[in-house]
Amino acid sequence: MSDFKMVEISEETLIKIQKLELDILKEVDAICRRNGIKYTLCGGSLLGAIRHKGFIPWDDDIDVSMLREDYDRFCEICKTELDSEKYFLQTTDTDPEYRFTYAKLLLNGTTYVRSGYEHMKYRTGIFIDIFPRDGCSDNPLLFLIQRNLGYVMRKILYSPMGAVRSPKASARFIFRILRHLPKSFPVKILSFIKWLNFNKETDVVYCYGLMGYKEKRKLDMGKERYREYKKSLKSETPEQKRERKIRERGLKRYFFKEITDMPFEDMKAMVTDYYDIWLKYNYEDYMKLPPEEKRKIHQTTSYYSLGKYEND
């Protein structure tokens, strides 16, 4: 498989992209506050808020997350309150070519094409991600079924990209078969998974459109480190095992209900009161900076354009 085209983003350009993403976050924040909707920064954005009071200097995206009921309200309210001249809320409903189970809020008049995704026809632009958190069964066996079914449906949605991007020939072959399934099939199955717990105040919530804790940990660590990590689990204490099992299932619902304001660049953004627990789950000693050689801009695009915002 040939290498994908990659365009290098300079530090100067990164700062411009961050500024535009911050403006998008302010739009999300304003809509949420007007309508009593709670969200929290998540992933690297949450880490940035706590450790840097804004962006991680080398990070190029913003992620927010909210409970399903708030997410659905947000999407509905955007039909009337979102500045549609400036922004576009991208979901599987608003963009027929879109293949992800979470929303993106795009800045109109910009372009941002991910390397290896050039053949995809969905709209692109500078964006932030908005992830819904669905209830998951408190029954471990039923949750296992839900999670694995969600994993398969996510792979079906990803198949047009995986058929090109996957590093393994065998995986590309499977994705080439899966991509012939209509998009409506995995979308309906994921809606069914959501429906199973939609009206239940389940203790744990899960984002079926994202990699689970175990899957992401394996990817981040690499084969050798993950193998050593698996070996280390044999010496876990009962308490450590209980905590790990909680992490693997998802996050507590109350993480998304008890929210506080934190400085993020020149605004106040919403973050969970339980950011310390969440960040320790994902990063352990999260206030410690990574080695200098890892403080690099994520180079993931083959083409971008800031349009009229280029000189702002």
Cα-trace Rg, the chain: 19
Mean pLDDT, 10 residues at a time, over the chain (312 residues)?
77 96 98 98 96 96 96 97 97 96 97 94 97 86 85 94 94 96 92 69 83 72 80 85 76 95 98 95 90 89 95 82
DSSP 118: T
Q: How many Å apart are CA 198 and CA 95, to the nearest integer?
A: 24
pLDDT for the residue numbered 63: 97
List, for residues 23-69, the tens digit of each pLDDT value.
999 999 999 999 999 999 999 999 999 999 999 999 999 999 999 99
Domain limits, the chain? 11-134+253-309
Q: Where are the alpha helices (DSSP H) in the chain?
A: 11-34, 43-51, 68-81, 140-165, 169-178, 184-197, 213-232, 238-249, 275-283
**pLDDT reported for residue 148:** 87
Quick one: pLDDT at residue 112?
A: 97
pTM over 0.85: yes
What residue has token string 């070519």?
97
Our measurement of the distance from residue 76's CA atom to the centroid of its chain's CA atoms, rounded to an integer in Å, reads 20
